[in-house]
Amino acid sequence: MPTALLIAALSLFSRTGGIASWDEAMTLGNGVVGALVWGEGGTLNITFDRADFWVNVPDSEYLGSDYTWQTLLDCVRKGDHERRMWIFRMTDGGSSKLPGVRLAIKLNEGDRIAGFALDSKKELVTVAVDSQGVVRDLVAWFDDGDDMMTMVLPDGFSFASMEFIENGSFARLGGFPEPVVDIAADHAIYRRENRSRGKFDRGFSAGLRLAGPGAKPKHGYVEAFCAESSVSIPDSDLQQLYDFAMHLYCAGSRRPNPPLALQGLWTCDDGQMPPWQGDYHNDLNIQMTYWAAPPAGHFDSIEAMCDFYIALLPEFQRFAREVFGFGEGAIIPGAMGYAGQEIRGWSAYNMQPTEGLWVFATICDAWYYNPSVERARRYLEFGRELEKGIRQCYEKDADGVNRLHLSSSPEWGDDGPLSYAKPNTTYDRTLLEEFHKRLGDLAEAAGFGEEAAGYRALAKTFGPELVREDGLVEISEGVLMDESHRHPSHLIWFFPMNDLPCGIDAEKCVSHWEGLGPDWWCGYSYAWAACFDARLGKGDAALEKLKTFAKAFVSECGFHLNGDQTKSGYSRYEYRPMTLEGNFGFARAVQEMLLGYDWAANELSIFPAIPAEWDGKEISFRNLRIPGGHSVSAVRHADGSVEYSLSEFANSPIKPPKVSARK
């Protein structure tokens, strides 16, 4: 076997032959600059992208004066849904993530691409080139903090030419300055200024540096990242996808850089603007994207997200002031751009103030799994501003229940008349309660006991759980989910919120949602369903969902694709937009199968959801984290016996857990 293909066989993802599509490419990144490496025949493509390359249009340029909370209240109360959808609809011309640029490299006559490989443990991509029967390796990487990709060429190897190909969406947008291009024998550099006049604008700067065989990576970050934790499961395809999700964290989410938006550092290279503006989508996407980071100990990844949102507090205060008409406090838009500005979309998630409370719950995970007094105080300060905003969105009714002025359950009802329901929906009630509980935990850890007690008391004021006599939970009062739906927003109390209200039969509720069928599920729905099944200890069911996800909703390079690519009935959605959240929901489901944690009881379960298919095979994990910052390592031997160790986090506000019976 040629040397290049031996390397590929040991890699995370490998491909013999060419790659014809950008969403099948090998991925690299260093937190701010990313690249898709692909191509076929005699052409090698490298699509460069940057996390901070956005068009940030000032709100006044595309949002009219009617784009306000009061207008939305009026439309919903009058039942004027056509006007509401017109005012709050998605539109072109607003803020958006921008695609990068493709470097098209022509190989010399007689050279052909023979294969690709991605080594996630070293963050290297190898391109095998067949030069008339001799296979030679081109190895590429990003050094820490470098705008340029380095590619090592074998002695005597060269390219015929290099040319930058711009995404056609720039021409349609108009107004961008001409790029500055510098191509020479040993490099290709592309720079372009941003045309917009909003906040946080950055120009584009990226390129390729060619080096000889003596060049070595300078990315110590990778070694430290890979040392944090590991998982080993007896299914090579699922193992590969788990490791790929960790690779996406390493390559795409590092302090002090921006967090992962819908497509991270790998915006589509198809001549179009990215789906959903490539935005920070706060009705599940940003949250699911960071589900798997804290249990894996990748705190630098999730803290990139925390830092980003906290730095945008002035913008969230502006949103509360100018769009909601509030004199104080902050509201996080349901869909937003790089500058924190609102991006127009379905009002039931884009203008629903509880979306930001779910963002805050995700930020709190960075503290629960890695607690410190300093971090508690910092997150509490941010949470206080969100509390000032949300308190202006509800009022007490005659029964003493604090009810929102408008309530929804994304994405139930899509953007139609059913988008809004009688307050409080189960989704909103859960978020309001959990938000105040988390504020209480942070306040107590920060030394503000009286403040903590106030938040915890307020958490109990948002009404009773909407539980029917048969144990099922309703979306809103009198409304039970009765058809297949992609977003189980009414079940977030079970996962990821980890709080089981009294009287609710969790297994029955999950079975009801799953029993409605997957007709209108997306790829991420399968990942979320696997998390539910794992939390219930149903390993066989979780494994089935994960296998379906891997089979039907993943590109060959590992990217989550929203629709069923096999067209086998796993979903009626058969389209192909790439977004990343499903990759991380998948990884969290694997973690939940291996390590369970009961928040209320502070109890740990080792291997709580192992499928029968894995019996007789060794399973292990190293340094998975649980709330309190404690870490756990365990091995389940082929004979079913279990060994584990628990390392306590010093001075943790959450005591080390009890350990329940193990499988």
At residue 92, the pLDDT reads 63
Instruction: In whole angstroms, give the CA distance from residue 37 to residue 127.
Output: 9
Residue 310's Cβ-count burial label (10 Å; 0-12, 13-18, 19+) is: middle
658-659 sheet: strands from edge to edge: 595-598, 603-606, 658-659
Integer CA distances (angstroms), 241 to 244, 247, 355, 526, 590, in order: 5, 10, 29, 14, 10
Let me know: does 56 contact 343? Beta carbons within 8 Å.
no
From the list 608, 609, 652, the residue with the least C-alpha distance to 631 is 652
The model's pLDDT over 395-427, given as tens digits with 9 standing for 90+, comes to 999 999 999 999 999 999 998 989 999 999 999
Residue 431 in 3-state DSSP? helix
Using H for helix, E for strand and C for coil, what is the string for 330-365? CCCCCEECCCCCECCCCHHHHCCCCHHHHHHHHHHH
Instruction: In whole angstroms, give the CA distance from residue 529 to residue 533.
Output: 6
At residue 201, the pLDDT reads 81
Residue 18 in 3-state DSSP? coil
Mean pLDDT within 624-649: 97
Q: Which of 422-431, 501-510, 626-635 has the lowest mean pLDDT?
A: 501-510
Q: What percent of the chain has pLDDT over 70?
A: 96
Token representation of residue 134: 């001799």
At residue 663, the pLDDT reads 44
* pLDDT averaged over every residue in the chain: 93
pLDDT score of 89 more than 90 = no
Mean pLDDT within 539-545: 98
The model's pLDDT over 415-473, given as tens digits with 9 standing for 90+, comes to 898 999 999 999 999 999 999 999 999 999 999 999 999 999 999 999 999 999 999 99
At residue 154, the pLDDT reads 96
Integer CA distances (angstroms), 374 to 319, 364, 640, in order: 27, 13, 42
Instruction: In whole angstroms, give the CA distance from residue 129 to residue 316.
Output: 50
Using H for helix, E for strand and C for coil, what is the string for 508-557? HHHHHHHHCCCCCCCHHHHHHHHHHHHHCCCHHHHHHHHHHHHHHCECCC
Q: Which of 147-151, 311-315, 503-507, 516-520 has the lowest mean pLDDT?
A: 503-507
Integer CA distances (angstroms), 72 to 1, 318, 436, in order: 65, 18, 26
At residue 63, the pLDDT reads 77
Note the pTM of the prediction, 2 decimals.
0.96
Let me know: does 562 contact 576? Beta carbons within 8 Å.
yes
pLDDT score of 2 more than 60 = no
Q: If pLDDT is split at 50, 70 and 90, which confidence band does 173 have?
A: confident
Amino acid at 6: L
The model's pLDDT over 100-116, given as tens digits with 9 standing for 90+, comes to 999 999 999 999 999 99
Q: Which of 6-15, 277-286, 349-358, 381-390 has the lowest mean pLDDT?
A: 6-15
Q: If pLDDT is split at 50, 70 and 90, which confidence band does 87 have?
A: confident
Instruction: In whole angstroms, give the CA distance from residue 436 to residue 575.
Output: 39
DSSP character for 17? S
Instruction: In whole angstroms, give the CA distance from residue 76 to residue 423.
Output: 13
From the list 270, 245, 99, 251, the residue with the least C-alpha distance to 582 is 245
pLDDT score of 183 more than 60 = yes
* Strand 159-166 relative to strand 658-659, pairing: unpaired
Instruction: In whole angstroms, give the CA distance from residue 238 to residue 546.
Output: 8
- For the chain, the helix, strand and coil percentages under 3-state DSSP, each to the nearest 5: 35, 20, 45
Residue 397's Cβ-count burial label (10 Å; 0-12, 13-18, 19+) is: exposed
At residue 4, the pLDDT reads 42
Q: Which of 57-61, 146-150, 224-228, 476-480 has the lowest mean pLDDT?
A: 57-61
pLDDT score of 189 more than 70 = yes
Let me know: does 186 contact 121? Beta carbons within 8 Å.
no
The model's pLDDT over 204-255, given as tens digits with 9 standing for 90+, comes to 999 999 999 999 999 899 999 999 999 999 999 999 999 999 999 999 999 9
The model's pLDDT over 334-374, given as tens digits with 9 standing for 90+, comes to 999 999 999 888 899 889 999 999 999 999 999 999 999 99
Answer CATH for 67-92+290-465 from 3.30.2010.10, 1.10.150.120, 1.50.10.10, 3.90.78.10: 1.50.10.10
pLDDT score of 11 more than 90 = no
Q: If pLDDT is split at 50, 70 and 90, which confidence band does 274 have?
A: very high
Let me know: does 551 contact 240? Beta carbons within 8 Å.
no
pLDDT score of 41 more than 60 = yes
From the list 89, 29, 37, 38, the residue with the least C-alpha distance to 64 is 89
Q: What percent of the chain has pLDDT over 90?
A: 85
At residue 60, the pLDDT reads 61
pLDDT score of 62 more than 80 = no
Token representation of residue 546: 């994960």
Let me know: does 501 contact 465? Beta carbons within 8 Å.
yes
Query: What residue spans of 468-505 are helical by DSSP H?
Result: none
Mean pLDDT within 158-163: 97
Mean pLDDT within 372-393: 98
The model's pLDDT over 559-600, given as tens digits with 9 standing for 90+, comes to 999 999 999 999 999 999 999 999 999 999 999 999 999 988
Instruction: In whole angstroms, give the CA distance from residue 270 to residue 373.
Output: 47
Residues 6+ apart with CB under 8 A from 530: 541, 542, 543, 545, 546, 549, 585, 586, 589, 592
Instruction: In whole angstroms, give the CA distance from residue 88 to residue 63.
Output: 9
At residue 202, the pLDDT reads 84
What residue ranges do the domains of the chain occupy? 3-54+98-226, 67-92+290-465, 606-659
